[in-house]
Amino acid sequence: MRQHGFRNSREVGLHIRGSRHRDAQTWRIEAAAKALRAAGFEVTVDIDDQWRPTADREAVYADRVDGHDEHASNAAGRRDARQAAAHQTLDGIPAGSR
């Protein structure tokens, strides 16, 4: 499916990157369906082109931004802890001892 523009993720499964809140890329979807059918799979394509209300999209976006901020904050905390541990280890090594 990668050659048809699909990617895999743990969160959403197979998806087309950059397709959130946009019209379906039917040419990619149909090409992938055709390839799967040629490989012997039974494929049904059901595309829902209903746009979610702007307020809903913005709320989901705000939640995702909050999640990214929380992840970045946690990563910074882990980085600081690793740096402090490294400095503590280095402080225990005598300088210039031969």
Please count the structural domains in the chain.
Answer: 2
pLDDT digits (tens, 9 = 90+) for 32-48: 899 989 999 999 988 87
94 and 62 share a domain? Answer: yes
pTM: 0.48
Q: What range defines the domain where residue 77 resides?
A: 52-98
38 and 21 share a domain? Answer: yes
82 and 70 share a domain? Answer: yes
Please identify, among 30, 50, 70, the residue that sits at the C-terminal boundary of a domain.
Answer: 50
26 and 57 share a domain? Answer: no
Check residue 93 and report its DSSP letter.
Answer: S
Report the C-alpha gap between 49 and 47 in whole angstroms. Answer: 6
Which carries the bigger pLDDT value, residue 5 or residue 59? 59
Report the C-alpha gap between 22 and 49 in whole angstroms. Answer: 9
Report the C-alpha gap between 70 and 64 in whole angstroms. Answer: 10
Q: What is the pLDDT of residue 79?
A: 94
H/E stretch holding 91: helix 54-91
The confidence band for 50, taking pLDDT boundaries of 50, 70 and 90, is confident
9 and 43 share a domain? Answer: yes
Report the C-alpha gap between 74 and 19 in whole angstroms. Answer: 28
